[in-house]
Amino acid sequence: MCGIVGYVGSRAAVPVLIEGLSKLEYRGYDSAGIVVWEDNQLKLEKKLGRLSVLQEALQGTELNARCGIGHTRWATHGRPSDINAHPHTDCTGRFAVVHNGIIENYLELKEWLEAKGHRFKSETDTEVLPHLVEHYYRGDLKEALQKVVERLEGSYAIVVICRDEPGRLVAARQDSPLVVGLGEGENFLASDIPALLKHTRRTLIIDDGEIVDLTAENVAVSNGTGKPVKKEVFEVTWEESQAEKGGYAHFMLKEIYEQPRALRDTLSGRITPENHRVILKELNIDTHLVKKINRVFIVACGTAYHAGLVGKQVIESLVRVPVEADIASEFRYRGPLVGPDSLVVVVSQSGETADTLAALREAKRLGARVIAVTNVVGSSISREADDVIYTWAGPEIAVASTKAYTTQLICMYLLGLWLAQQRGTLPQNEIREILVELRELSAKAETILDNNSAIEEISRQYKDKENAFFIGRGLDYVVAEEGALKLKEISYIHAEAYPAGELKHGTLALIVKDVPVIALATQKALFEKMVSNIKEVNAREASIIALAMEGNTEIEKVADHTIYIPATHPMLAPVLTVIPLQLLAYHVSVARGCDVDKPRNLAKSVTVE
């Protein structure tokens, strides 16, 4: 979950490293550090806190180095501190390393190294790496790193710099992203593409087990045995400005407003012009296999899991096949009844989520067909799945996911309709009706965003509350879970979602005077029952914020505030319903003075278990 940047070239390395790290601070911001080669030595600076603290420490220093590596950390082993910050060095200061991931056997390696006289300073798992390089180094940094990775268990993206080999960086990857940026007389390394965009769009996506040898004039990639690997250049097509705030106060708000465009992009080319059929050319599953599927599993974490909960109801309704939605961190450990006739759908914004990747591998081991829904081309999950449906949401910087979630929902609808087509479980006229409504979601999302100021005004009235409840029925309950997550992760208000029908089975004990209750009532078949449930809350003098479809004005009789979404097919309502909930969470967070884009203790891409 940390950010890595490396540079070798003819210009000053420090500004390049700092600028690159600023693009990756969303991946980790407990501490930051750099190390550069200058005057035949490695010069190191690292600091607890945000990148700005490191920048202040570097002011006034005259570093003209042309080669270096940098890191922003999200703590796993060892509390955030100056000492635990990366880069880490060996006993002599000859080698320095930055690392993303977790070295699972680090204690065993540390004990072995200590027995050989190595001295450790930090509490991190990473520190074993420079000491291992020191142990194996015989004059060639690449050969030493090859020997090091043979000893490692776990996940890693590693970059090493050596005092004795100026102008050279060597890197390795296993289950943690690593990208090379190709320049003219200079080359770059990073854990994510935004760090490279200011300098180049020509990249190499490094795969598991590969080692990179980087100089200003050359990039050589090899496998673990040293055999050269030929890599195709991946041209980045999205603009650098897409990864910037674009005039918005926060990335999260910008990304909420990008949703209409993201919805259009996700649907683009995937529906026939006549709205008759779904086209998913990326799925290479023959019809015989599709018809054999007897169970679907949707596996994900966090917000992606909530998209999976919507997908469960959608696919069961459209395809008439049992669907289980699983939290990825639990999937492997419950002995899932997965086999060759199962379809497993893994959902991950980054495509690097460690628990989801592990679930994918377990599903494949059990013989299932695996479809990935992800936003990142070339990610681990996209490469290891049998088939991939990309969300095309564009880069999402804010830790709290917004446009990634709504585009994941679109992919769930497309997959459900595609399966229904293949299996013949839905009449053509019903498929067309849903597809027509899908195309209209983008414009309807824009009308919700036009109501932002009214939602902001409602939000301000609840900024001082410390508890909130979200209720709904059917698909509304699933969206309520995502709404509660958004509120608590960025505003730190305790928020819980409950099925509205469960209120009388215990939850009403928590409903007291003036506690905010966000009530979702967009499902026509359940509307009257939902109104009855809201009345139960009303009787306890709670404060009701209701969400309903336009035309259902009866809801105003039981709510203190009402937010309407444009009318749409009830199955598609989650895409629209979640947008006011995102805005509600955003404005409450701002009003409370919270760090919206970087909520405490959280990071964007969870690449550790």
Q: What is the pTM of this model?
A: 0.77
CATH number of 251-448: 3.40.50.10490
Give the residue from 533, 514, 427 showing the smallest Cα distance to 476. 533
Q: Which class does domain 452-591 fall in?
A: alpha beta
Domain 251-448 and domain 452-591, same fold? Reply is: yes
**What is the per-residue pLDDT across 442-498, written as a single tens digit (0 to 9) for each?**
999 999 999 999 999 999 999 999 999 999 999 999 999 999 999 999 999 999 999
**What is the per-residue pLDDT across 127-180, written as a single tens digit (0 to 9) for each?**
999 999 999 999 999 999 999 999 998 889 999 999 999 999 999 999 888 999
Kindly report the backbone phi and psi dihedral angles of residue 227, in degrees, each rounded to the nearest multiple of 5, phi listed first. -75, 130
> Mean pLDDT across the stretch 84-110?
94
Kindly report the backbone phi and psi dihedral angles of residue 464, in degrees, each rounded to the nearest multiple of 5, phi listed first. -95, 5
Contact 149, 173 (CB under 8 A): no
**What is the per-residue pLDDT across 178-192, written as a single tens digit (0 to 9) for each?**
999 999 999 999 998
Is 254 among the residues known to form the active site? no
**What is the per-residue pLDDT across 353-374, written as a single tens digit (0 to 9) for each?**
999 999 999 999 999 999 999 9
> Mean pLDDT across the stretch 420-424?
95
Measure the CA–CA gap between 426 and 428, rounded to whole angstroms: 6
pLDDT classification of 602: cutoffs 50, 70, 90: confident
Contact 202, 235 (CB under 8 A): yes
Is 230 among the residues known to form the active site? no
CATH of 3-237, one of 3.30.930.10, 3.20.20.70, 3.60.20.10, 3.90.1150.10: 3.60.20.10
Q: Which of 46, 142, 598, 604 is catalytic?
A: 604
Q: Evaluate the CA torsion angle 364, 369, 373, 377 in order and state its sign.
A: positive
Measure the CA–CA gap between 597 and 587, rounded to whole angstroms: 12
Domain range summary for the chain, segments of one domain joined by +: 3-237, 251-448, 452-591
The residues near 543 (Cβ < 8 Å, ≥ 6 apart) are: 462, 514, 515, 516, 517, 560
- Bridge-based pairing state of the strands 295-300 and 41-48: unpaired
Q: Which of 2, 67, 301, 411 is catalytic?
A: 2
